[in-house]
Structure 1
Amino acid sequence: MDHSPSFVYLSYHGDDADFALALASQMKNRGARLWMDRLDIPPHADWNPSISDALSRCSSMLVVVSPQIVGSPYMRYELGELVRRNLPVLPLLVKPVTDADWPKEIKTQSVDFRSWRDERIFAAQLDRLIRAMQQHTGFADAFGDPPAEELQYLNDLIARVETRRGVAVNLTRQEGERSRIRPNPFAGGFTHMPYRFNLLRSNIGPSTRLADRDKRLLRGIEDAVEQLPRFVMVGEPGSGKTTTLRRLVLRDAWARKAGNTGAPLPIFRYLPRWKHEQSIIEFIMEDWPLSTDVITLIAAGEGRLYLDGLSEMGGEGPYHAGQLRDWFRSLDAPLYVTITSRVADYSGDMMLDLPIVMIEPMRDISIRELASDYLGEKAEPFLNQVLLQQRWQRHYKQGLYNLSPNPFLLTALMLVYERSPKGTLPYNNGVLFQEMVRALWEREGETEPPIWVEYEEMEKSLARLALAMLDNDMPVDVPVNWAIKQVGQSILLTLAHNASILEIRAETSNGASQHAPGSDEGGGQLRFYHQLMQEYFAAVGLRIEGFESRLPKPAFNSQVGRTATKWDQAIMALCGIADDPSAMVTQIAEVDPFLAASCISTRIIITDKVRRSVEDRLVEHLMEGDMDVKKAAAKALAEIGDRPAVQGLFRVYGRAETATRRIIVQTVQDIHNPAAVTSLLDQLYNPNPEVRRAVARALGVIGDPSAINSLRDSLHDSSQDVRLAAAIALGRIADPQAVPWLRMAMRDPEKDVTLAVVRALGQIGNRAALEALMVAFRNIDYDVHWQAVSVVRDLIDNSVDRDGHRAAVAALSTTLNDKKWYVRHNAARLLGKSGDAEATQYLLPLLQDSDADVRLAAIWATGALNQQMAVPGLLDNLADEAPAIRAMAAWALGQIGSIDAKAALVDSMNDHDEVREGYRVSDAAAMAMDKISRDEVLGVVARQLKRPS
């Protein structure tokens, strides 16, 4: 930003950000010294002071006029400041405003940008605006030479990436309207979502059921970028993939804009715009604005390539994925590239042979934090509905609980909750999305757009679009022109986009976006904001047109039983919004009782008679069908999962042949309905150990604490497999009452059972469980010991408060006198990892341990804990006979930053014994001295700054 006295302040409402960003980037690139918050406040800068500073120093103002200006205190305040200073203000009209609402502070003559989404009109009006400014004495001085081509590129890129609407932004609108300072549009929104990222183990697909050992938690997406030059980022729809990718683009763009030429230049491409006839090189080079060759740039590592939407290319996906794989193996391959894909679609021919980073669903603590930020004192009643106070509530709350870890859907849920007269949320997905769509539409209506479409008309129109997309096997993204033909009017698509029901990307391959259709002739791509929203509108369409012609007879295969169809989810949502769900389920069951069972599992309200009728049909198929049909029938009964359905499974089991029994046993273990607990408990004493094992596993999946007494008996079952399943189940239930029984079960003669018991204690994780884990920690069997180490490490990593760390420290301190060196060694390492300063006192004796590995671990731990009380012992370690210990002691003293250690470290700088090839004790001492010296200087500076002038 040019900080000369003459610059123009751009004032706009958040709802008009798309226009403001397009205008500001164009004007900047034509030499205007124009200030706009989103293009001139770098990330991590203080927002409010930056706004106030720019407002106080500007020489003139452009104000974007729309109906939103009427109720916007911050826009009125900004206008008032300029009027008070008698500075010129030029209005830009983007939406019609009545004379009564026109701000009295500014003249009525304005530049008309109401049709700005038409590129030709926008360009013509921009020329008119610039001429008017250059002829006005109050604006003429705010023009200079156009910036360099790279800065022009970055201005344009930042504007495109910032052009991003979402429910989170809409939810902050009310707070912004009360503020005199314009709100930070991303404070608490998607940009700052508490995302968690896992790096997946090599050669494993993300759609695989992953164990903890298959993934490693990263500190953040920046950690992935630092460690992995090239990777694919996968996640569920709405989990934040594109948001995260764009955040990385912004990070690199701002670094380059600030003059950091060492930062790679970001290149952003939207893969669904890749044409079939284009090579990957042609696609990347398309519309490239700089004179530098982009392929050479990214191959040399001077640019970082960001590719969004791998899974959204429709039928072209496998073909283009193959081209990408070939390119990544070639000599001109990009050195740095990040690609996004939906997790369910990243498999087979779509995989790129690159490391995979998965966005994890938000944890309960993150959901709680976000809800508290948005809802304040209303958050707790909301959280009581969407979070599980007990795991066994999962079945009853599964719709809400499964949606809430998704950032987009969580913010939409909060919007529905805010608008509910009774403050309640429906548990059925069909009704939930019905209310969600209505809330989004009504909220958009409150902005008083000049042209409006009533809810009922919008719902019918988008239902036609969703049905047509399914009927024609269209990909997730469809052409805007095609969509207009389905709904009949482009304005409806624009309104649905503004309401976050649709997302419209009118963009080229480089991501240039106007994000809404300008006319019937406009191009671009359109999609529903979330797949579940498309399924809801398809359900509305089926309610209008009828579903019978789209309900095929079920087909089966040996892998999954019944084969899913493209209409399944829409029909299930339809049952949720039907006037008579019982009649609808009856109709479905006559053709496909397996799908009827799935409909019942969505928590719709139907009569017992209909439910029994569906279950009877399924039992009949389980008894008489072929193996694929039996597999589907068993799975459907388990999906319903109530007491009669489970009893039906076991009734067939009692008289079935071996193959059918095996199917039933495999199915039982996936039951998750708490209503089945009583029937399952009866089967824990079944004479067949396979049944007992499956039942124990199912009880763990359900998580109802009422099962723990029976599972306690199963810990002593004659079958090893049953004991193992019982231990796993008690861990999943995670009730502290089970700790004494699990502690006794650590004596099990089978190691696999003992290891499962250790993991179960870790899942419970309270003080009593930690004390019990120390028994395993001191176990003579190294595998058992190491399992306990792993569990305690996870407890420390995942603890969110100091009490959790203190409990771990107290438990570990009891093991430091153990005779086994590896017990003392790993306890020391974990104490250092705890971050609890009180652990230092327990480590001091180990600094002089008889075992060198233990001494090394204790030295590292004291350095990590950074406490002065360790300095005398560490000084003694500088004289240890082992070079590795002397070097580690020097490092630890540097971490602590003790001035008292400087003399001894100076002596160690003459210690040239090698620790490993190319690294000596003197090197460690020199680095420690350097750190201590730098810390001293910073301390002096800090003290000087605190002195009064």
Structure 2
Amino acid sequence: VSGATAFAERFYQALANRKPLTTAVSVGQTAMGREGNQWYRPVLYLRWENNDGGRLFGEETTLLFERYVENLVAKLEAEKGVLEYIDLFAETSTSLSSFGPNYQSNLAPGLDNLASSYQSNQIDENNVIASIENIVANHQKFVLIGEPGSGKSTALKHIALSQAKEFLSNKFTAPMPFILELEFWSKDKSFDSFVRQQWQEIQLPNVSLQDYFTKGKVILYLDGLGVILGNSEKRVNRVSQIKKWLHSSQAPQKVIVTCRSDYYEDDDINLRLPTFEIQPMSTDLIRSFVSHKLNDESDHFLKQIFSNGENQDTKNSIQQLASNPYLLYALIIIYQYEPGNKLPQNSGALFSRLVKALWKREREKPNTELLSYSEVETYFADLANYMFRQNSLIVKRETAISILNNDRNLLLAGKNASLLVVQDNTVRFKSRSIQDYFLAVTLNDEDINSILKNLNSILKKPIIFHGKRLREPWDYPIIALSGLVNEPNEIIKYIAEKDPYLAAMCLDSGVKVNDDILEFIVTKLVQTFDIAIKDNIEEIVKGENIGETKKLLAQDYLHRLGIDILPILGKILIDPEKNAFIKCAIIDLLYIYDDNDTRIIHFLSDIVKDPSIEEKAMQLANKQLRYFKTVLIPSIGSGSIVVTVSTSKISEVSQIIQEAWHRVQKYESQYDKLQLRFSAISALGRLKNKEATLPLIDGLIDPNNDVRQACLTSLKSSGWQPETNKEQLYLAIAENRWSDCQGFGELAISPLLSVLDDETEAIQISVITTLGEFGLKAQDAVVPIFNKLFAQNTSIELKKTCIEAICLIPTKIAVIGLLKASLTVSEYLQNLALDKFNNNIDYKQKLAGLSHALEVDFDSIIQPKINPTIGKIFKGDENTKLKIAAIEKLGELGSVDAINILLSTMNQENEKLVIACINALSNHKQLNVISAIVEKLKDDKNSIKKEAIKSLGKLQAEIAVDELVKLLPSQQKKKRFGINIPKISTWFENNLVGDILDALQQIGTPEAQQAIDSWYSQNK
């Protein structure tokens, strides 16, 4: 008694201090001062709450608990290692040698390793917990999720088995495990009633459940939360009962729940408990497991599994199937039973061959007479279909027999072949996956049109809620069906037209389609990124972020399609018909792919290098936003949105639409700032790949400073360091270290020109100044600098910088440009340009430039893109003025070479230029000049004659007297009305007389004076 009293005192004190039950027991045992395994006996007779004669547990109660737990241990150990996929084997005493070595180990190899891949997504998605035991020790209540066949139920049973053994070995001081399989919860009972019913059915003591649960005496294991079927409303109601019960005062202290991952994604089934997900088996674990099972044959098997290499990110391959324990074991069965055959590549084909292999194995047992699988398949399919229609995973035994052709032996064979589970008076399929396969059989047909007809009757438009595609009952059977048909292209396309998410799930199961169908699915999914489609308008009205939830959903399903879609996504990125919503969403998706995959890099590079891709995408995006206005604004007043968007709150439609429109306006203003190029730069930076750095390095000299800085940031974040002079130069430019550019010589010219069009004037000034300092090495910079100088929106300060830089690069074009600047810009800049022309350009440079000015159209050289036909007249006038100015400057030079250029130019057709040349030459009294001007007295154009006459007079050209006199009109008198009238051919010819007489007067020789006197005497 003293020992028991000491135990009780310390035991309950530890519990009061919130110590775990096992710790409290250990503390109490230490207080007793007893060792060995008999310490518990005094405690069993301790008087506790006057219950059952003063014992902790009555003798009958103790025996019942012990019997239940012993039965539970026996049941769990009978499941051959408590691994779900072991259940595939027939439960028979017949040797399994045809399937390989004995699989009846109590704890199959790999479970401990498998537990190490359990992952917490409650606190930190990267926090991997070492073992399932650690999860149990650190969490009172949690949910264990995973893909079908990942080992959820296996893990739960393994935990329960360990707990049961601890309970028995410690004689009831440890909590007792209590397993509830939720598929046996009938729809007409409350959850609390179901728990009590199960407690009674396993013949546990009829005592207060609340007492056992709340004081930590029982650990509850809820297996199969996802099996709760029914429509959404009914399912929500049933799950709500569990939630309420788990958080009530009568709930157990410790609860473990299992559920399929995709089912648990639905908000209405989420229990809001810490959640751990079983990850796919690693390549090392697959190899270890297969080597253990197949021994010498493992290498050949593994070659098929890893035919695409050991990249676990590779999708749509047999490796993805093998990463699932259940499916891996199925592959091993098929491999052993069909030696030499290629392993199935998708889940539908896998289950087809597995079921056939298991049935054939059952038929080959001694003294067994069974129908062939082809004869019985339809019966099992009918059973699956009946259970599906009844919205139940179990049926009564007699009902199952009636569906199975009233053949009890067929039911028994199904059980022995591990297709069915027969328990008491109920029947269910061994796994949901096998049931889904038989449902797929009901949809299949040799005629493709019949299959499409069957699909049409069950396919629905996907329901998207809170960023998730709600699971449909037919999803997995349809996925299995896609793997059963020989040519899945037409079926997959048909599915994708109605539900591209489901089509992606089919491909994720391993089904292969041609490139056209794959691109069709991808295009359907990325179209979800477009916010102006009808579904997304509904999303806005319902208060969702504009397109955001669907974007995340589509990204998830695109990821399921694997890396083969990268070239398709790349094509969409540069497709001029796709808007920025779609393209940015695709770029956001790229982070999930392998950094070493370079197939997307050149598409991203195109976006970074070519601003027109972004510009077009932005235009389309803004067009989509304007589309919202046409849809939403009319709806505000008319309430027509009710037609577009289903809602039960008709009275609130107007207010909802108004609020939605405000969100669209806000989003539009934000979207104007969106930079597709920045997204591409960021994606390239994430790749941390040598090839991905190349476009980023080129981006360091992009005309847009923001782009340069984005590229620089991405490069630095990836740890990039410049390795060549070129990269050093690019880095200097991106960091605006202009003075350092001189040290790179001519290598710097082209990169500097690349950034000349930066929007920041300060950068333009720095670049132009730096280019000028290179002198004639920067000849390629002359035209771009002039484009800045003569642009209408260029500031005076920038124009000044252009003029100062140009005079340091005295090419022919530079000379012409300075001359033009002296004619066209502001007075201050005209004077500056003229000063630079006169004082900074040497004679040879001037002569070459002025001569070149007479040969070219300067405006067409510096601005070839803005010289349309419609502007030729205006451009011609400007060009002529510039040439005249060049002629005048040549005249000012007055050198032999300059005069020769003028003499040559004087022979062209342009009247204005000829006149300018004559005028420029009139300051140079040289024989060849006078002779050339005299020749122009013979020109057909009187304007040229007139200028030549004046110039000859100015030159006092004695040799021109005779030619000038010849130009004087002859005098012929004619009597008319008694008046003598001189006959002059034209008015202009008459006007030349005065110029000729003035020229002769200027010449002043006797011959000239005589000619003057003679003309006057004849014309008195």
TM-score, length of structure 1 as denominator length: 0.49
Query: Which of these two proteins has the greater Rg computed from alpha carbons?
Result: 2
TM-score, length of structure 2 as denominator length: 0.46
**Larger helix fraction of residues:** 2
